[in-house]
Amino acid sequence: MAPHDIRRPFKRAAISDQQKRRELSLLRQAQNRRDAQQQARCLASSILSLQSAAPESQPEQSDIELETVPEAEPESEAFSKDLDVRQASKLRGPEVRKWFARQLMLPEWMIDVPDRLAQDWYVFARPAGKRCFVVSSNGTTVSRQRNGSILHHFPSALPAGAKIRDGSGSAQSYCILDCIFHELDQTYYVIDMVCWNGYSLYDCTAEFRFYWLNSKLEESGACNAPSHYHKFRFSAVPVYNCDQSGLHAAYTGVVPYAKDGLLFYNKHALYQTGNTPLALVWKDENCSQYVIDTDGKGEIPSQQQVVLELQDDRKLVTSDDPPVLFGCLDGDIIEKSGLHTGNLLRFAIGDGGLSFVDGKLEKADLIYLGKSNRARAFADSYSKVLFQFMVRHSPLKIDDLLASINSANDQEKTPSDIEMVG
């Protein structure tokens, strides 16, 4: 233990000029930051005061452009969505079907495993039941199925979902939920949240929407047991990060509903209406009763059946955007059966099956069966046809999914810049 040094600074200024330069720089930076913020706020304040002052005292403000340009956009957009929902409820017949069908995000079928499954995706067990859109507004709640038909009309604890005076049911307010109605326990399982209490979540990533869904749904009381003002129970589904344990939990975990496959949602994807590859559905016999499509009688046909749309040049296409071409229909059949452009037609896939070149469909052995059920709004999607085809021939197994997560893990462990020599 050596003696302790007690030297003090001698004949020295207490602060070095370098330190002073640092501090003056920081001061300047802080000042500049303040100026930049102040500028942003000033702009906003002048707009705000103009807006609040304008209706009363100075309706003919000359620099009115200041008032309208920056503020108006997000507001009017939200408002226009609001209008859409209400106007849509006045639509009738096929239009309403089409309109509502277009509002749902439709997962593609998983025909190959996306990259970075573990990092970028969520997984959850899809409840078996009727996919529907639940809209609460003006003190009532309506659920509509994919084809636009009303499933229930009921009071709910969702904001604006029942006629009670608790302040939540303001005229502006409404909710749109993407749900699956599960018959057995009469519960709406909410699989996505599109609008909540007037806030549009269309442009939010899945990560945000699920976060919001989990916190808000519970808070609203919509998960409570049914009561006079709340006819059906709502429930969120457990969502997992799609790593090995998450996938395992979704696949084997016990849930209060019957499972119908697994849904995979890309965390960064916004709520995109229509078919999207950023949401995927996959199933096998262990997690779904309905792996292979059944016909109208509930039986599995010996040959895979598909529904395609007839275009005016006789082409048969899927519902994808852009559509995928499956073949052309004989002019004879069109004439004989009195088919028109836009008709949805049912085909069986013959023994020739589907053939691919470079991963693209080249030829399909289609056998015409007839017009499809009137309730159908759309042709099948390419991924659905392919998934069904694979299920019958060489299905994508849960082990394949797990293996892809594991191999991605392995890849991350090894340095990326390996020189290939083999």
Residues that bind other proteins in the complex, under the rule CB under 8 A: 1, 3-4, 6-8, 10-11, 13, 16-18, 21-22, 24-26, 28-29, 32-33, 36-37, 40-41, 44-45, 48-49, 51-52, 70-71, 73-75, 77-78, 172, 198-201, 203-205, 207-208, 211-212, 215
Residue 51 or 303: which CB sits closer to other proteins? 51
- Supply the minimum distance, in Å, between the C-beta of residue 151 and other proteins: 29
Residue 160 or 316: which CB sits closer to other proteins? 160
Residue 121 or 154: which CB sits closer to other proteins? 121
Residue 35 or 285: which CB sits closer to other proteins? 35
- Supply the minimum distance, in Å, between the C-beta of residue 210 and other proteins: 10
- Supply the minimum distance, in Å, between the C-beta of residue 45 and other proteins: 6
- Supply the minimum distance, in Å, between the C-beta of residue 132 and other proteins: 24
**Can you give the chain as a three-state secondary structure string?**
CCCCCCCCCCCCCCCCHHHHHHHHHHHHHHHHHHHHHHHHHHHHHHHHHHHHHCCCCCCCCCCCHHHHHHHHHHHHHHHHHHHHHHHHHHCCHHHHHHHHHHHCEEEEECCCCCCCHHHHEEEEEEECCEEEEEEEECCEEEEEECCCCEEEEECCCCCCCCCCCCCCCCCCCEEEEEEEEECCCCEEEEEEEEEECCEECCCCCHHHHHHHHHHHHHHHCCCCCCECCECCEEEECCCEECCHHHHHHHHHCCCCCCEEEEEEEECCCCCCCEEEEEEEEECCCCCECCCCCCCCCCCCCCCCEEEEEECCCCEEECCCCCCCEEEECCHHHHHHHCCCCCCEEEEEEEEEEEEEECCEEEEEEEEEEEECCCCCCCCCCHHHHHHHHHHHHCCCCHHHHHHHHHHHHHHHHCCCCCCCCC
Residue 239 or 329: which CB sits closer to other proteins? 239
- Supply the minimum distance, in Å, between the C-beta of residue 201 and other proteins: 7
Rounded to whole angstroms, the Cα distance separating 323 from 91 reads 27
- Supply the minimum distance, in Å, between the C-beta of residue 6 and other proteins: 4
Residue 71 or 365: which CB sits closer to other proteins? 71
Residue 37 or 286: which CB sits closer to other proteins? 37
Residue 40 or 184: which CB sits closer to other proteins? 40
- Supply the minimum distance, in Å, between the C-beta of residue 80 and other proteins: 12
Residue 172 or 186: which CB sits closer to other proteins? 172
- Supply the minimum distance, in Å, between the C-beta of residue 64 and other proteins: 17
- Supply the minimum distance, in Å, between the C-beta of residue 72 and other proteins: 9
